[in-house]
Chains A and B, each alone.
Chain A
Amino acid sequence: MFYGTELTSRLMLGTAQYPSPQVLRDAIAASGAEVITVSLRREGREGGAFREILKDSGCRLLPNTAGCHSAREAVTTAQMARELFGTDWIKLEVIGHADTLQPDPFALVEAAHILCAEGFEVFPYTTEDLILGEKLIEAGCRVLMPWGAPIGSGQGLSNRSGLARMRAHFPDVPLVIDAGIGAPSQAAEAMEMGFDAVLLNTAVASARNPVAMARAFGQAVEAGLAAHEAGLMPRRDMARASTPVFGMAELAG
């Protein structure tokens, strides 16, 4: 449940960098995604034509504050998003580093406090840091979106054990892996680990065939979720015998 909304597909799709709105529309349909993100910091109020195309997709829109470098910028952008899209949902991004696009944890918590108090339903783009996660929950967030790896890097779950700890630490908070996913196998891995959803953009938008890749991600996320729910067998260490070895012929020479 994401702020009271149940989603069948656990894939969320970003909408930037596609070859055309037509390809984007086809990719969204092929992926089965029910939630798509949309940026407006750079496009401003005049980005209406593109936003209409997104609205026509029938998906639930998750506006984001991509491109914001301070809490104040993010808050203003969120307020504009609410006005333009008529939704309280906001994916909160406050960039701390222009190159890696790593979130600024301090400004993130500050902006989350303000937006939650204003009634926004905040999806904060965060790191796998547990204390930061707790501060965001304290601020009023009821979903967390830890990164897999830096935005657009395609590196997958670069701190797998850190993410596993986060999953264990917040058993009842919906956690969405956001950013860094490059391949369907990585998305499936996140779902197998028990994350609630995966959000990605570049891996689909810059594929040679975005529509086919979108479909592949949709299937991978579905498979990962099904595998998690079915209960994965534990990995076994076959180097250590757990039962006495018997029945082996002893060929005395």
Chain B
Amino acid sequence: MISVLGAGVAGLCAATALAERGLPVEVIEAATPPVSRLAGGMLAPFCEGESAPEVIVSRGQAAIGWWRARAKSFEQRGTLVVAAPRDAGELDRFARATRGHDWVRPDDLEPDLSGRFSAGLFFADEAHMDPHEALASLRERLVARGVAFREQPSGRIVDCRGIAARDRLRDLRAVRGEMLELHAPEVTLTRTIRLLHPRFPCYIVPRGKGRYMVGATMVESARDGAVTARSLMELLSAAWTVHPGFGEAEVVSTGAGLRPAFPDNIPRLRREGGRIHLNGMYRHGFLMAPVLACELAEEMAKETCHAH
């Protein structure tokens, strides 16, 4: 039996990949809900290349097909990157730092942005989904396969506890992220919009029925309290810059959570202290968890094979 600790995106992807390989697996849940529910749910390997190393861009692409087959809310409509006229230089920089994009007129893709931005970058291959739905779908499939969700582990441990694994991984640190969800029926945007700004970049992910997720801050802190007023103001003013219709939106919810990160901000599998860790997801949870989960399942399947 393999006991996967944690039912966030890392744990559920690991359990799914292991179960799909035919390995016996159970999921051990924490009392607190996983922070991955607060994620943007973007599958944007090319955009991430702006600051992430090449390994995220090249390996992350595999996540798009993985989620397409498993998440009902998956939509491949690309990412549109825009900047206010004053920050046009940021778009040039972003274009130089990334690949897989075309220069576009933003209102050709999103008519609701008519007259607001004269140029944008379009990453046609990228996708997005709703993390709540995606996590719930994985869970349903696991239950349907007979995978148990328990409180105590009974087998070999695969540790996917996120920031809680700080007790065993000394170089794991927290990077605080804050987000909010808006209900803005006046605004019609059908794909992820990224607004570049020298200090307050943000992204807006459509969640359907007039709902939008706006995220996310990156603060080098382990403070896990509610979203701060400053962050809320920054995110809201960024959303307002994209579309003034967000000014009339209802704030449906806000959230704050701690991303687990290694010093190089690259998620990885690590064997330490008699267990396998899948951790350090940083801001790449939905992108890198399936990739690492498949790698994990392959390794464990080989080991089981050799053991027999």
Contact = CB atoms under 8 A, between A and B. Distances in A.
Chain A's interface: helix, strand, loop or mixed, by majority? helix
B287 to A, nearest CB: 16
B136 interface: no
A30 to B, nearest CB: 16
A19 B265 contact: yes
16 contacts: A19-B52, A19-B265, A20-B261, A21-B263, A22-B263, A42-B219, A44-B223, A46-B223, A47-B219, A48-B222, A50-B173, A50-B221, A53-B263, A152-B198, A208-B96, A208-B97
A19 B48 CA distance: 11
Interface in B94-148: 96-97
Contacts of B261: 20
Contacts of A42: 219, 221, 230
A43 interface: yes
A120 to B, nearest CB: 24
B230 A152 contact: no
B51 interface: yes
A48 B53 CA distance: 25
Interface in B272-299: none
Contacts of A19: 51-53, 265
A206 interface: yes
A39 to B, nearest CB: 9
Nearest to A101: B199
B174 A49 contact: yes
A47 B221 contact: yes
Interface string B32-76: 000000000000000000011100000000000000000000000
B173 to A, nearest CB: 3
B221 A20 contact: no
B264 interface: yes
Nearest to A50: B220
A46 B264 CA distance: 20
Interface string A198-234: 0000100010100000000000000000000000000
Given A152-B199, A206-B93, A22 B219 contact: no
Interface in A111-162: 152
A48 B198 CA distance: 25
Contacts of B222: 46-49
Interface residues of B, number: 21
Nearest to A52: B173
A22 B265 contact: yes
Contacts of B173: 21, 49-50, 53
Contacts of B264: 20-23
Contacts, number: 53
Interface of A: 19-23, 25, 42-50, 53, 152, 202, 206, 208
A45 B174 CA distance: 13
Given A19-B51, A20-B264, A22-B263, A43 B174 contact: no
A19 B220 CA distance: 12
Interface in B173-193: 173-174
A20 B219 contact: no
Contacts of A20: 261, 263-266
Contacts of B97: 208
A22 to B, nearest CB: 4
Given A43-B221, A46-B221, A50-B220, 6 more contacts: A20-B261, A22-B265, A25-B263, A45-B223, A46-B174, A202-B198
Contacts of B223: 43-47
B10 to A, nearest CB: 19
Interface in B212-241: 219-223, 230
A43 B265 contact: no
A214 to B, nearest CB: 16
Nearest to A153: B198
B51 to A, nearest CB: 4
Contacts of A44: 221, 223
B265 to A, nearest CB: 4
Contacts of B174: 46, 49
Contacts of B266: 20
Nearest to A42: B219
A53 to B, nearest CB: 7
B263 A43 contact: no
Interface string B161-175: 000000000000110
B199 to A, nearest CB: 7
A47 B218 CA distance: 12
Contacts of B198: 152, 202
